[in-house]
Amino acid sequence: MNRVWALAVITYKEGIRNRSIFGILAFALFVLGLNVAVAGFFMREIGKVTVDMNLSALTFSGLLLVFFVALHLMAKDIDKKTIQLVFSKPLSRGEYIVGKYLGILCFVVVSLLVLAVFSSATVLLVRGLYPNYFAGFSWPVFFTAGFFILVQLAVLSAILILFSTVTTSSFASLIFTVCAYLVGVTIEDVVFYVKSGFRTEQISEAVKQTLDVVSHILPNFAMWDFKLEAAHGLVIAPERLGLALGYAAVYIVVVLALACLCFQRREFN
């Protein structure tokens, strides 16, 4: 366990030292600043618009962190062949995968916490400017939605690690992870649309079956999306939160186990 933790700490430190995070921070600050400017354009629901923009800014920034910084952390060892050095130490391949994942997760958690501080400050600022338009706003629901952005990123990081273990190029891992994310966030609406039967006669049975299979292989990211609830301060049923957490935990375990399996069989020249 100590070995895994040591690798996690090294990975985390490498992530924090990456200069790309300044660019991502600047992007997040730009979106949050934009929020202050745009909020006043709306008639009544300034609070809702503020929450929408803040949570979306957190998601976009989190995605950039995973797609670029986390990918770099994962691919660097393999691309630069330093992985040979790591494996000369008493560290199994499975431990390597888990250590890397924990390091990436710590990095994402800390980065997101910093962004959440800026985000909360923006909400406070806009609330100070338009105090009458935040009637439905609730901090607990806002932070719950923020926490589930983190859960989404945790799942995505696991998927990224899986693809890094099966592909030889980091660019291919990036493309596959982006595709998995895009499918994951859209699959629910596509599946329900097809099931609705409204003008779906043209869709072939094969496509419908493929969709069904994909919807069970890839995670349904909508399960971890509570942005709409946060925007209107709606109460989220505890069972829904429990199911969402359980779904994420099981998915991460399966994907990481699969990643370990693939990594065991991988050859490094």
Partner 1 sequence: MPRKVILLILIVLAGAWGHTRLSRQVWENRRETRSRIETGYVFPSQFNRVLALGHKGLYADYLFLNTITFFGERQMYRESLTREDWDYLVTGLNAVTDLDPYFLDPYVLAEGTLTWETRRFADANRLLEKGMKHRTWDWQMPYYLGFNHFYFLKDFNKGAEYLMEASRRPGSPNFLPHLAARLSYYGDQAKTGILFLTGIINSTTDERLRASLLLRKKALEGAALIEEGMERFKKDLGRAPQDIAELTAGGYIGTLPEEPYGGQWVILPSGRVFSTSKFVEARKK
Interface positions with partner 1 (CB under 8 A): 38, 41-45, 48-49, 51-53, 55-56, 59, 132, 182, 185-186, 189-190, 193, 198, 221-222, 225, 227-228, 231-232, 234
As measured in angstroms, the least distance from the Cβ of 39 to partner 1 is 10
Tokens standing for residue 9: 């700490």
For residue 26, how many other CB atoms are within 10 A of its CB? Answer: 10
Please, which residues have CB within 8 angstroms of residue 261's CB and are 6 or more apart in sequence? none
- Tell me whether residue 83 or residue 194 sits nearer to partner 1 (CB atom): 194
Residues in contact with 114: Cβ distance below 8 Å, sequence separation at least 6, in sequence order: 25
3 versus 232: smaller Cβ distance to partner 1: 232
Minimum gap (Å) between residue 17 Cβ and partner 1:
30
Cβ distance to partner 1 smaller for residue 22 or 198: 198
- Beta carbons of 151 and 245 less than 8 angstroms apart: yes
Cα–Cα separations (whole angstroms), residue 156 to 18, 151, 212, 224 = 20, 9, 21, 12
CB of 268 to partner 1, least distance (A): 36
Q: CB of 35: closest distance to partner 1 in angstroms? A: 10
CA pair distance 51, 132, nearest whole angstrom: 15
Nearer to partner 1, 187 or 252 (CB): 187
**CA 20, chain centre distance (Å):** 17
E-strand ranges in 69-109 read none
Nearer to partner 1, 56 or 92 (CB): 56
Shortest CB 116 distance to partner 1, Å: 17
